[in-house]
């Protein structure tokens, strides 16, 4: 490393000392914490992103300043790889080490050793190139500036500030393409499908007082046949994710602020939730139907391709959804909690579908399957244009472009839901009635050291501390359709408890019993 580069890193890092007494780790959603302690972290992630760009032959890397569903006083940073997906897991230990280096000298030593180990050329003709984005949090602007300082501390690195964007937009900057693909899907609806009622043509959306509401209003101007009414857009001074947002609705089972009984057709104190499990089920039914159609209807000159369709869930998926998917004959597998694990597993299939209960998810199509699909469509267009088989090929090609395969994207997911419901001729009530969720409850138990809990089998069982899994099993056996698991949080010192049972009273009781076990086994300081 040249002396000019060493001096630049030492001088710039001295302006961003790490917070005392705080240890941060790159979790499933990057780094997240109170915004007040993140300035040095985002500065150092700017350095990491520039190095990652150089390591990938100066490919564009994305940095997003956001804490997603967290309260407005929090913030965070996540990195997008050139593929559009998340930062390679192989780089996460380096991210942790950078974030927690105590002095500029330690930081420089880490960078020097890593650059040598990975054979990263700092002096190249093509500079590192970084896309920057942030959400609407008040702390975002100053953290973005600190990130820019980190990027510019690598000689020649170029920053492109995208301003206020959604995270998926940063991963996939192709916004207007959504409209063309939705129109393609709706044009391919089977004849005789259910006509949309007046209520079906209006979609009321909770913007959570964040960037999503702002982008939805832009989207609304380009849509035909669907009116989007955005509530909690942030323009009325509402606070981000406070009494609003997907996590609030999914965990609390409450209607977000700004909605009334006319919006949901029920008492405002109760909500019928169509969550990520139901979204996954809807898409799985649709994809399975299209795949079945492809190889029907006579001989074809292209060899038949039996696409491997897989559904990926975490232990938080409601047990009723898993049972329903298996009864459909679908292959269902589990991974640890976190989109990075779900995404990686889904990529092993020709078509892999994953969604968390809170709505994070997408559909992945393998390159080999898409190549076959394009050939199959070309063949069908020549011999049976307008047939259901040809339309099925077109629908799948449109879905592969509409759904954001880089990362879960609420906007493209929302539009695909609308297109599939129209294709199926289903109302939202018909969709919601696919299966009935088992009552569930989630509890957080504060602990001194969350790493004392070690899990296995996609977080469905505990291997440390000894004996706690047996105690959980004994409690669970007391409840009809009982199921419970615990796992350490990836972002805070708590143990998360999840429980299901045949009744809400049973789920609540089981969750409380398991939470008591956590306090007993983890000792003083747990609450």
486: CATH? 3.30.310.50
Phi first, then psi: what are they for 209, rounded to 5°?
55, 35
CA angle 68, 50, 25 (to 5 degrees): 45
Residue 462 within a domain: yes
253 pLDDT exceeds 90? no
Share of the chain above pLDDT 90, in %: 54
What pLDDT band is residue 1 in, cutting at 50, 70 and 90?
A: confident
pLDDT at position 197 over 60: no
Residue 265 pLDDT exceeds 70:
no
More confident residue, 269 or 101: 101
Same domain, 7 and 155: yes
pLDDT-based confidence at 471, cuts 50/70/90? Answer: very high
Which pLDDT score, from 0 to 100, does residue 298 have? 47
CA distance linking residue 31 with residue 34, whole number of Å: 10
**Residue 418: pLDDT band by 50, 70, 90 thresholds?**
confident
Q: Which two tokens stand for residue 510?
A: 């089981």
**Which of the following is catalytic: 12, 40, 53, 68?**
68
Provide mean pLDDT across the span 248-269: 73
Cβ neighbours around 424 below 10 Å, total: 18
> What's the rounded Cα separation, in Å, for the pair 287 and 398?
12
Distance between CA 65 and CA 134 in Å, rounded?
4
What does the pLDDT look like over 364-408, one tens digit per residue? 999 999 999 999 888 888 888 888 899 999 999 989 887 877 666
pLDDT at 300: 47
68 belongs to the catalytic site: yes
Whether residue 141 sits in one domain with residue 233? no
Which DSSP state fits 501? -
When comparing pLDDT for 196 and 36, which is higher? 36
pLDDT, position 225: 65
> Which one has a higher pLDDT value, 219 or 93?
93
How far apart are alpha carbons 55 and 93 in whole angstroms?
16
Please check whether residues 446 and 408 belong to one and the same domain: no
Domain span at residue 117? 3-164
Does residue 294 share a domain with residue 390? yes
- Same domain? 426 vs 447: no
180, part of any domain: no
**Domain end point (choices 244, 264, 284):** 264
For residue 156, the domain's CATH number is 3.40.120.10
Tokens of 167: 């995270």
DSSP 340-372: HHHHHHHTTSSEEEEE-TTS-EEEEE-HHHHHH
In terms of domains, do 488 and 343 share one? no
Cα→Cα distances 12→77, 93, 128, 150, 484, Å: 19, 23, 18, 8, 48
Domain count of the chain? 4
Average pLDDT over residues 53-59: 86
Q: Which of 45-59, 66-80, 284-298, 442-456 has the lowest mean pLDDT?
A: 284-298
Is a pLDDT exceeding 50 seen at residue 240? Answer: yes
Nearest of 293, 329, 337, 287 to residue 312 by alpha carbon: 337
Burial label for 206, CB within 10 Å (0-12, 13-18, 19+), is buried
Mean pLDDT across the chain: 87
- 126 and 240 together in one domain: no
Both 201 and 141 in one domain: the answer is: no
The span from the CA of 509 to the CA of 498, in Å, is: 11
Section 52-70 average pLDDT: 88
Q: Which of the two residues, 229 and 316, has the higher pLDDT score?
A: 316
Residue 173 lies in a domain: no
- What pLDDT does 486 receive? 97
The answer to whether 395 and 188 are in contact (CB under 8 A) is yes
- For tokens 């472009």, what's the residue? 401
Domain final residue pick, 432, 461, 494: 432
* Sole residue written with tokens 């408890």: 497
The pLDDT value given to residue 464: 95
Radius of gyration of the chain (CA): 24
Q: Looking at residue 165, what is its pLDDT? A: 77
Q: How far apart are CA 263 and CA 258, in angstroms?
A: 10
301 — pLDDT class (breaks 50, 70, 90): very low
In the predicted structure, residue 8 carries a pLDDT above the cut 80 = yes
Do residues 117 and 143 share a domain? yes
């Amino acid at each position: 490393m040249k002396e000019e580069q060493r001096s630049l890193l030492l001088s710039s890092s001295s302006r961003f000392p790490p917070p005392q007494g705080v240890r941060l780790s790159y979790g499933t959603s990057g780094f997240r914490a109170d915004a007040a302690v993140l300035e040095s972290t985002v500065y150092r992630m700017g350095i990491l992103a520039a190095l990652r760009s150089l390591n990938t032959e100066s490919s564009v890397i994305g940095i997003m300043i956001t804490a997603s569903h967290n309260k407005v006083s929090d913030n965070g940073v996540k990195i997008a790889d050139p593929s559009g997906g998340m930062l390679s897991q192989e780089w996460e230990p380096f991210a942790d080490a950078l974030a927690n280096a105590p002095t500029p000298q330690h930081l420089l030593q880490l960078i020097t050793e890593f650059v040598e180990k990975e054979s990263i050329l700092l002096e190249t003709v093509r500079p590192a190139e970084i896309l920057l984005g942030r959400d609407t949090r008040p702390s975002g602007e100053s953290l973005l500036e600190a990130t820019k300082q980190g990027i510019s501390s690598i000689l020649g690195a170029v920053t492109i500030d995208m301003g206020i964007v959604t995270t998926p937009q940063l991963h996939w900057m192709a916004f207007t393409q959504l409209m063309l693909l939705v129109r393609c899907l709706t044009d391919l609806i089977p004849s005789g499908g259910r006509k949309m009622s007046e209520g079906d043509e209006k979609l009321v959306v909770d913007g959570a007082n964040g960037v999503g509401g702002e982008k939805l209003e832009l989207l609304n101007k380009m849509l035909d046949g669907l009116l989007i009414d955005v509530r909690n857009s942030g323009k009325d001074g509402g606070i981000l994710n406070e009494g609003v947002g997907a996590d609030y609705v999914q965990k609390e089972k409450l209607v977000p602020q700004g909605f009334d009984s006319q919006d949901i057709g029920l008492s405002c104190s109760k909500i019928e939730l169509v969550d990520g499990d139901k979204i996954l089920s809807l898409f799985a039914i649709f994809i399975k139907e299209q795949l079945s159609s492809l190889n029907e209807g006579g001989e074809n000159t292209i060899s038949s391709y039996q696409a491997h369709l897989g559904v990926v869930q975490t232990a938080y998926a409601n047990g009723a959804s898993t049972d329903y998917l298996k009864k459909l004959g679908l292959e269902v597998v589990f991974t640890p909690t976190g989109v990075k694990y779900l995404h990686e597993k889904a990529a092993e299939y020709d078509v892999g579908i994953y969604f968390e209960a809170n709505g994070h998810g997408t559909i992945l199509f393998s390159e080999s399957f898409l190549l076959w699909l394009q050939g199959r469509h070309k063949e069908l267009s020549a011999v049976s244009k307008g047939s259901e088989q040809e339309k099925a090929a077109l629908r799948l090609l449109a879905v592969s472009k509409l759904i954001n395969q880089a990362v879960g994207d609420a906007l493209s997911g929302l539009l695909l839901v609308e297109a599939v419901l129209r294709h199926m001729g289903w109302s939202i009530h018909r969709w919601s009635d696919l299966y009935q969720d088992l009552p569930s409850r989630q509890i957080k138990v504060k602990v001194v050291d969350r790493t004392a809990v070690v899990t296995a089998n996609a977080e469905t069982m505990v291997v440390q501390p000894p004996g706690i899994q047996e105690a959980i099993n004994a409690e669970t056996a007391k409840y009809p359709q009982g199921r419970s698991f615990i796992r350490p949080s990836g972002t805070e010192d708590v143990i998360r408890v999840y429980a299901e049972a045949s009744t809400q009273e049973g789920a609540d009781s089981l969750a409380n019993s398991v939470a008591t076990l956590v306090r007993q086994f983890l000792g003083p300081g747990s609450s």
